[in-house]
Amino acid sequence: MESPSTQLATLVIERLIKEDLLRPDDRGTLLSRLAEGKLKQEDWWLAVELSEAKGRVK
């Protein structure tokens, strides 16, 4: 059974991607780090900023 943190992290990441707050390409790297509590302030900043940049390019 996946840990509760991993289950929740999966739900959160999918929702953030759906709302264009994360890039789908970042799913793999962000999921485990979110679940393990390793997403730092700078990681959030970069990930959300990149998704915004991607949105602008589109």
Partner 1 sequence: MSAALLSLKVEHLRGSVVPFVLRFEKDKNLTIVYGENATGKTTICDALEFLAKGRVGSLEDRGLGHRLDRYWPSLGKRAGDISVSLDAADSTCTARIHNGNVKVEPEQHRPRVEVLRRNQILRMLEAQPAKRYAEISRFIDITGVETSEDALRRLIESLNANRDTAVAVVAANENTIRQFWEGAGSAGKDPMIWADAELRKDLLTLQQTALALSQLRAAYQRLGDYPQKFEPATATLRTAERAAAETVEKLENVLATATNEAGELLAVLEGAKPYLKKHPNPTACPLCESNEKAANLRDRVQQRLQQFSTIQDAQKEKVRNDQVVQRAADALASMQADVQRDAQKFEELKRGHQWSADIKLPEQPAPTRPDELDVWLAVARELPASWLAFEGAAQEQRKFVDTLSRQLKTYRDNVATQQELDILLPRLRRAHEILVEERQKFTDGVLKKIAGEVGRLYEAVHPGEGLEKIRLELEAGRRASLEIGASFGGTANTPPQAYFTQSHLDTLGLCIFLTLAGMDNPEGTILVLDDVLASVDEPHVERVVEMLYLEAARFRHCVITTHYRPWKEKLRWGWLQNGQCHFVELNKWSLANGLQYVRSIPDIDRLRQLLAEVPPDPQLVCSKAGVILEASLNFLTELYESDMPRRAKGLYTLGELLCAFDRKLRQALKAEMLSGTDASDKVIYKTVVLGPIIEELHRIAQARNIFGAHFNELSFELPDADAIAFGTQVLQLVDAVVDSENGWPRKEKLGSYWANANETRRLYPLKKPV
Binding site for partner 1 (CB under 8 A): 1, 3-5, 7-9, 11-12, 15-16, 19, 21-22, 33-41, 43-45, 48-49, 51-52
Nearer to partner 1, 27 or 44 (CB): 44
DSSP H helices in the chain? 4-18, 27-35, 41-57
CB of 16 to partner 1, least distance (A): 6
**7/24 with CB nearer partner 1:** 7
**Structural tokens at position 46:** 């970069």
- Let me know: does 35 contact 6? Beta carbons within 8 Å: yes
Helix (H, G, I), strand (E, B) or coil at 21: coil
